[in-house]
Structure 1
């Protein structure tokens, strides 16, 4: 039976009565001291009441909670030393649980995303066919150079040998510089003939239709001019198939409507379902090259990436038939990754950042743009082999030495630093603020090569008529090697559900903690005192 407590002494009533009295002037100081003493006693009494209430609530919580070890702290049937022992055990368990939870949390923050293999039987027809960029070893056509040399006017006291050196400058060799006096002579030659360095390079480069004789796409003979377009790369002017990186294309206007809006795809494997081209290295037309041989470089890359040193590179030489087998792999990101903060996922999607002159963002394109900006910052112009949106000045002959010095930017890990390996290895941030791709396609490749002899070939491209005038021809097949590929999934390392399970498992293993235990703690500190106060007032 609950007894109603009688309030014997009310400090607030006493204070109010003392304040209402009118003490005399000689008693004012004593009254003030007594009031301060009374308020101090009231604060001590109030703090003692709170401490008693808190200790009672904590004792009741320890006796009734489901957490491990707490009941031994307040049990009256064990000695004080045992209670102190259990108190130390509980404190150590709490510290261990908090430490493990924090360790798990920081581990999750250090590796917020993870990439796993989702399937090793992902259909290859869901992956776009790669771009195939073909670059001739010979960058200057001998026929075009001799013809242009005959028609160009020369200033007084300038020989054709100096004009020939001007043609060699279109190769943009690295590791050498040109005298300023020679550059001035070359600039006078171009001004006299009203030709820029870019126009000179275009005039001297071999034509795609001269290098590519026959084309077969997915087993059907196709006009090569509708498949390949002429693009400018670091390797010079090349011919590219399935290239969609730039905003515009270089296809003839009359067949522009035939060009697809998206990259090509294939629905099978084997060389009969891919791309087959018959190449003519034009051995007799060689004028300037960096290779001691006759042939082409094949750059295999994503259709939306600019071809550079990151591309899969294959070399095909004259009188050979080459089979390039592509083993594609695709990586995609879940919706949770897209909703994740950029600081934690540490990657970018193709539409999240715009680049100058390029359709989509990728790490390769971003690094290429960064190197372009560094070149422009140093030289005040861009070389002709770089993408230009038409608003930036194109470098001329007088800027040749600066272009030659900045070309090394495109072959280093850190474009802005000529640093040793130790500094590159310890670089924490991605260079040029270029983050990796959240979604990408990789095109690993293998190649086999054999001697090409038309008399033993039944291929509809390799007949004697094709080889009658071109004995150094090259036959190249680029195709998917299998119907299935590997698909990777990028996802969050721990979402809210896995984090809850991880933290709950650690706390439950050490302390026996659960959601009900947390509610018990809140209940004993808030709801139960309120209920007790309400019940006491009713009684």
Structure 2
């Protein structure tokens, strides 16, 4: 039986090993002869420095070569492979550098998009319970701004100059309490100011005395199906529409409820636990047609302003018009927006919104974008006229405009009765405005009350016989209004950071992994090959 021959050793391997040993001996001998030479001091120092730099460069290139051969990054291994041509290695070097530039560019684009859109608002739930949302404020403003009976009674008691008649005074009432349209002659204003001074009256006191009373306009009130005294629900407030009656309003610094029932007033807005008109607010309104004295409308009725309980009622509110001999159903579909804790911890210049307690306003209790814009318009009017109109919110520190400033109020009404003061500017200027007026920022958390209404003819005899209501009125011009939530569920939005640290890490890792195959382990490999491994090699060679 023949046995297969087997080599004891390979001659080529022995020869290569011998050549390696000879090279090491030559290197050691050269180092020893260099050590015995005695060059100059500066030349030896320069030589040692260059030698160390050469060693560092050799270690760096060797570590980088080893890293390219062992790393899992795409394309790096082809740069140092010896079994391919130089042209192929240059091609792969170009591909790797292009991939690095592309990945860095995409990461920078992602970071820029994150800076441009730091926050995002998404729908969290379409089944958010409505009992977690406060009931809106309902402000009722009569078409009639001046009570005829009060005006006639006041005319009889006022002292007038010899050349002024009651008819002339009646015209002056309309001019001063309804400042709209053309300006008034200075002669008429001076005369009317003289009349008020004779009777020790100011324009604010006159407006309060001549405005219709809430208890006369609102006959009956039902809240959550329970017959309630209207004076404990509604208070008189001053708005851009004049004096109105507001329910569930907590925007002012103080309330106007009677002192005897002040303890019954809640400290926070009302809430409801159901939907439908039996669970909301129902009021029977009397337009007092016979008491009409001055109005902007051709009919008889009221304006309903539905707004947030802490917001000033202005043109931003949901507005509904109810007319006489009608029954109106106002259905509200609330929407709530809240911000996460990360938003609150976020820098103000990035989140670009404010919470209600982060800034104080002069005449209103809580910050909101609508309240801030209202006070912004008031400051503009204050700078122009030096005073505020008599029928806007005032904390008592600003001068109230009198009769002599009426023309200035009429000319500047564009400022305090509009959302923006530059409505007459081109749309391109308004659209490209970089900041809000008066540094007013949007709300981080808010409640929006979207409403819709239906109405029909009111049958007083049928209304008085309903089980849910004990309304009864002898007036044929009465108005029955129901304000309620239309559903038990609502939509809730969540404002959150567009990219937090975890999502940013995932985004950057996805981009780098898609193009380069980059990961946390490859980053550690890069640090290892450029720091720890050269240090260990240097220590090992020094010991040898």
TM (norm. structure 2) is 0.91
Q: Does 1:409 align with 2:415?
A: yes
Indicate the residue corresponding to 2:322 in structure 1.
316
Asked if 2 retains the 8 angstrom alpha-carbon contact of 1:246 and 1:358, the reply is yes
Q: 1:388 aligns with which of 390, 394, 412?
A: 394
Name the CA distance, whole Å, in 2 between partners of 1:12 and 1:421.
Answer: 87
Q: 2:494 aligns with which of 473, 489, 492?
A: 489
- SS of structure 2 residue aligned to 1:8: helix
Name the CA distance, whole Å, in 2 between partners of 1:433 and 1:12.
Answer: 79
Asked if 2 retains the 8 angstrom alpha-carbon contact of 1:130 and 1:303, the reply is yes
CA RMSD of aligned residues (A): 2.1
- SS of structure 2 residue aligned to 1:466: coil
1:76-225 alignment to 2 at 5 Å?
A: 76-225=82-231
Aligned CA distance change for structure 1 residues 9 and 367 (closer, same or farther; 3 Å): farther
- SS of structure 2 residue aligned to 1:369: helix
Asked if 1 retains the 8 angstrom alpha-carbon contact of 2:336 and 2:491, the reply is yes
Name the CA distance, whole Å, in 2 between partners of 1:230 and 1:398.
Answer: 26
CA offsets per residue over residues 180-235 of structure 1, 9 Å max, x none?
Answer: 11111111000001000000000110000000000000001000000000000000
CA offsets per residue over residues 7-59 of structure 1, 9 Å max, x none?
Answer: 336699957xx46xxxxxxxxxxxxxxx4x66665555454443333222211
Name the CA distance, whole Å, in 2 between partners of 1:375 and 1:244.
Answer: 25
Greater shift, 108-117 or 224-233, is seen at 108-117
Indicate the residue corresponding to 2:3 in structure 1.
none
Indicate the residue corresponding to 1:518 in structure 2.
523
1:102-501 alignment to 2 at 5 Å?
A: 102-415=108-421, 418-457=424-463, 458-459=465-466, 466-468=472-474, 470-501=475-506
Aligned CA distance change for structure 1 residues 52 and 288 (closer, same or farther; 3 Å): same
Aligned CA distance change for structure 1 residues 119 and 13 (closer, same or farther; 3 Å): farther
Indicate the residue corresponding to 1:26 in structure 2.
none
Asked if 1 retains the 8 angstrom alpha-carbon contact of 2:338 and 2:494, the reply is yes
Name the CA distance, whole Å, in 1 between partners of 2:36 and 2:123.
Answer: 73
Name the CA distance, whole Å, in 2 between partners of 1:370 and 1:13.
Answer: 87
Q: Per-residue deviation at 1:61? A: 1.1
Name the CA distance, whole Å, in 1 between partners of 2:507 and 2:400.
Answer: 58
Name the CA distance, whole Å, in 1 between partners of 2:158 and 2:35.
Answer: 113
Q: 1:8 aligns with which of 21, 25, 32?
A: 32
Name the CA distance, whole Å, in 2 between partners of 1:417 and 1:214.
Answer: 41
Name the CA distance, whole Å, in 2 between partners of 1:392 and 1:408.
Answer: 20
CA offsets per residue over residues 435-464 of structure 1, 9 Å max, x none?
Answer: 11110000000100000012333336877x
Name the CA distance, whole Å, in 2 between partners of 1:47 and 1:117.
Answer: 61
Aligned CA distance change for structure 1 residues 49 and 276 (closer, same or farther; 3 Å): same
Q: Per-residue deviation at 1:75? A: 0.4
TM (norm. structure 1) is 0.92
Name the CA distance, whole Å, in 2 between partners of 1:358 and 1:424.
Answer: 27
Name the CA distance, whole Å, in 2 between partners of 1:335 and 1:9.
Answer: 72
Name the CA distance, whole Å, in 2 between partners of 1:511 and 1:495.
Answer: 24
Asked if 2 retains the 8 angstrom alpha-carbon contact of 1:331 and 1:488, the reply is yes
Asked if 2 retains the 8 angstrom alpha-carbon contact of 1:213 and 1:279, the reply is yes
1:46-65 alignment to 2 at 5 Å?
A: 46-65=52-71
Q: Per-residue deviation at 1:162? A: 2.9
- SS of structure 2 residue aligned to 1:61: helix
Name the CA distance, whole Å, in 1 between partners of 2:415 and 2:32.
Answer: 90
CA offsets per residue over residues 54-100 of structure 1, 9 Å max, x none?
Answer: 22221111111111100000001111011011111111111111111
Asked if 1 retains the 8 angstrom alpha-carbon contact of 2:240 and 2:417, the reply is no
Aligned residue pair count: 519
Name the CA distance, whole Å, in 2 between partners of 1:256 and 1:53.
Answer: 85
Name the CA distance, whole Å, in 2 between partners of 1:92 and 1:278.
Answer: 76
Asked if 2 retains the 8 angstrom alpha-carbon contact of 1:170 and 1:201, the reply is no
- SS of structure 2 residue aligned to 1:195: coil
Name the CA distance, whole Å, in 1 between partners of 2:147 and 2:99.
Answer: 80
For structure 1, the residue ranges without an aligned partner over 5 or more in a row are 20-34
Asked if 2 retains the 8 angstrom alpha-carbon contact of 1:278 and 1:461, the reply is no
Aligned CA distance change for structure 1 residues 321 and 102 (closer, same or farther; 3 Å): same
Name the CA distance, whole Å, in 1 between partners of 2:193 and 2:487.
Answer: 54
Aligned CA distance change for structure 1 residues 138 and 83 (closer, same or farther; 3 Å): same
CA offsets per residue over residues 147-174 of structure 1, 9 Å max, x none?
Answer: 1111111123223233122211343333
For structure 2, the residue ranges without an aligned partner over 5 or more in a row are 1-19
CA offsets per residue over residues 223-253 of structure 1, 9 Å max, x none?
Answer: 0000000000000000000000011000000
Asked if 2 retains the 8 angstrom alpha-carbon contact of 1:331 and 1:440, the reply is yes
Greater shift, 375-384 or 211-220, is seen at 375-384
Indicate the residue corresponding to 2:17 in structure 1.
none
